[in-house]
Structure 1
Amino acid sequence: MIEQKDFEVIIIGGSYSGLSAAMSLGRSLRQVLVIDSGLPCNRQTPYSHNFITHDGEKPAVISAKAKLQVDFYNTVQFYNGLAISATKTENGFEIKTESGLSFTSRKVLFATGVKDLLPEIMGFAECWGISVLHCPYCHGYEVKKEKTAIIANGEMGFEFAKLISNWTKDLRVLTNGKSTLSDHETQILKDHKIEIIEDEIDSFEHENGKIQNIVFKKQSKIAVKAIYSRSPFEQHCHLPEVLGCELTQQGLLKVDAFQKTNITGVFASGDSVIQARSVAMAVSSGSFAGAMINKELIDESFG
């Protein structure tokens, strides 16, 4: 049980970005509370890549190691639970949790990430993060030169196909319905021997999340080793919006160069603000946010 109720900073979200910010603030001697519900977006992903010193490590191992290191700083405390409300007060903020506990702070950092809105294709959710991938920089090397599909359409499908062709030439674009690629885009893809399939997708055949076949509603199927898909998303936590924080056109929390939102005292970092989602970038933005929060607290103490 946490006896302390008032902190200098409350961090909502205790994954890579939140823990990185907590380390910056702990090393700055700040009284910090990290509230985390334990549901990181990459919890189904078996291995994390493209993060130097941790390449190929399991995501849960990285976060457990990070938490252990942050816990060394005795001004940082952890609360395992869900934050359900955030209110602006005269001196800062009040955060209430699902269990009924309330905590107050001068500053709040949202490192809450985003929630992927997966299509209703049977087997998609089970393969997400395992063989259905969002980022070639995170996972492309492991499926290089393999038979690969991209689920996308229009200009995004065209640009995504160009990108993924760097890792494999055995590539096809699944528009999952009528193609909205322009004639010019279609011709360029054909010139590069990238097949365009317009059949609607019915389901994925897989084994423990490892894709085997894509089944179409016409009952035909193709075998692939990997699929890339950029699903729409929403903010995992809507408390920033309740406080009045603005979103970008892409649905990310809008922050300035110092990780500040438009609401005084509210900062954000990690996947909730970064379009290019990766562990390394989440850690980077969290570390910077922690330093910027500490600077703001120092500036305020000098009037």
Structure 2
Amino acid sequence: MEKKHFEVIIVGGSYSGLSAAMSLGRSLRQVLVIDSGLPCNRQTPHSHNFITQDGEKPAVISAKAKLQVDIYKTVQFYKGIAIKAVKTENGFEIITRSGEIFSAKKVLFATGVKDLLPEIKGFADCWGISVLHCPYCHGYEVKNEKTAIIANGEMGFEFAKLISNWTKDLRLCTNGKSELTSEQTQKLEKHGVVILEEEIDSLEHTEGYVSNIVFKNGEKVDVKAIYARVPFEQHCKLPQDLGCEINEQGYLKVDFMQKTTIPGIFGSGDATTQMRSVALAVSSGSFAGAVINKELIDEDFI
């Protein structure tokens, strides 16, 4: 790649990054998209709750999006990993693992988050397939099935309430001693939720589709789906290296204009919100692209 300077660099070329790239490409902006080609939902077989693309494979959506963005010749793609970012007099420099240096006036981080999966045998194999994070994305496909939730305390209570909308055949696995209050326990039991406190040993599955939860005492519970909220970390640390703040939940802090706490740096997609869905990632990326373009216009129109 010969060109080294751009108006905007987008780090992360999944749904949010591609959406921002389209918005900026249609605004005639010189854009570079840096992406490793490894989206967080690459193991998920189908994407849902995104109008016009409901039930489509995530990779198909991404490939189609990239083809459409590629029509805008001011947008270029670089396959690689950004490992360093520095503030300069005129903007920012992004250094890749291969040593290339790119510069831009503005940077958008659409880098997502990295899920920190528990050390339960089989969990990682099932993550995104039959171990799910979001009922709005996947709940309809497992409606009325035997379902478990792996959670405890307040999160477990609220998650069980939520999932009970999709199935009444529900058990809450606290994976150890319950931290529910007596009132929460009574409410869940009143609504038919079975609470299991045994520690989990493993998940039995076939190619990611769970069949049984195996507890450390040897007992098994057959299920067709499991919901779990797992801890996470920012997939990319470069915004923090540049001084961008992270909020109390661990997300990149942005305002209603997708601006981070550092001027010239923007964030969009899963890195910025707990509402993880393709539709919302696309929305925030498109809006971020428009805001960045307007900011460039305002800076030039003096």
TM-score (norm 2): 1.00
Equivalent in the alignment of 1:80: 79
Equivalent in the alignment of 2:191: 192
Deviation of the 1:249 alpha carbon? 0.4
Does 2:220 align with 1:221?
yes
Q: CA RMSD in A?
A: 0.4
Q: Which amino acid is the alignment partner of residue 20 of structure 2? A: A
- Alpha-carbon distance in structure 2 between the residues aligned to 1:142 and 1:225: 11
- The within-5 A match list for 1:34-113 is 34-113=33-112
- Alpha-carbon distance in structure 1 between the residues aligned to 2:179 and 2:76: 51
Q: Which amino acid is the alignment partner of residue 33 of structure 2? A: V
Q: Which amino acid is the alignment partner of residue 151 of structure 2? A: A
Gaps of 5+ in 2: none
TM-score (norm 1): 0.99
The Cα offsets for residues 240-265 of structure 1, whole Å up to 9 and x where unpaired, read as 00000001100000001110001010
Deviation of the 1:104 alpha carbon? 0.3
The Cα offsets for residues 260-286 of structure 1, whole Å up to 9 and x where unpaired, read as 001010000000001110000000000
The Cα offsets for residues 54-103 of structure 1, whole Å up to 9 and x where unpaired, read as 00000000000000000000000000000000000000000000011110
Deviation of the 1:39 alpha carbon? 1.2
The Cα offsets for residues 80-131 of structure 1, whole Å up to 9 and x where unpaired, read as 0000000000000000000111100000000000000000000000000000
- Alpha-carbon distance in structure 1 between the residues aligned to 2:217 and 2:113: 34
Percent of aligned pairs sharing the same letter: 76
Equivalent in the alignment of 1:246: 245
Equivalent in the alignment of 1:170: 169
| Structure 1 moving runs of 4+ over 4 Å | none
- Alpha-carbon distance in structure 1 between the residues aligned to 2:261 and 2:225: 40
- Alpha-carbon distance in structure 2 between the residues aligned to 1:262 and 1:192: 44
Q: Which amino acid is the alignment partner of residue 171 of structure 2? A: R
- Alpha-carbon distance in structure 1 between the residues aligned to 2:222 and 2:189: 20
- The within-5 A match list for 1:12-51 is 12-51=11-50
Deviation of the 1:185 alpha carbon? 0.2
The Cα offsets for residues 217-243 of structure 1, whole Å up to 9 and x where unpaired, read as 000101000000010100000000000
- Secondary structure of the structure 2 residue equivalent to 1:264: coil
Gaps of 5+ in 1: none
Q: Which amino acid is the alignment partner of residue 98 of structure 2? A: S
Q: Which amino acid is the alignment partner of residue 160 of structure 2? A: A
The Cα offsets for residues 164-212 of structure 1, whole Å up to 9 and x where unpaired, read as 0000000000000000000000000010110000000000010000001
- Alpha-carbon distance in structure 2 between the residues aligned to 1:290 and 1:79: 18
- Alpha-carbon distance in structure 1 between the residues aligned to 2:19 and 2:107: 15
- Secondary structure of the structure 2 residue equivalent to 1:281: helix
- Alpha-carbon distance in structure 1 between the residues aligned to 2:105 and 2:138: 39
Equivalent in the alignment of 2:120: 121
Equivalent in the alignment of 2:265: 266
- Secondary structure of the structure 1 residue equivalent to 2:213: strand
Q: Which amino acid is the alignment partner of residue 154 of structure 1? A: G
Equivalent in the alignment of 2:274: 275
Equivalent in the alignment of 2:144: 145
Q: Which amino acid is the alignment partner of residue 247 of structure 1? A: I
- Alpha-carbon distance in structure 1 between the residues aligned to 2:14 and 2:210: 28
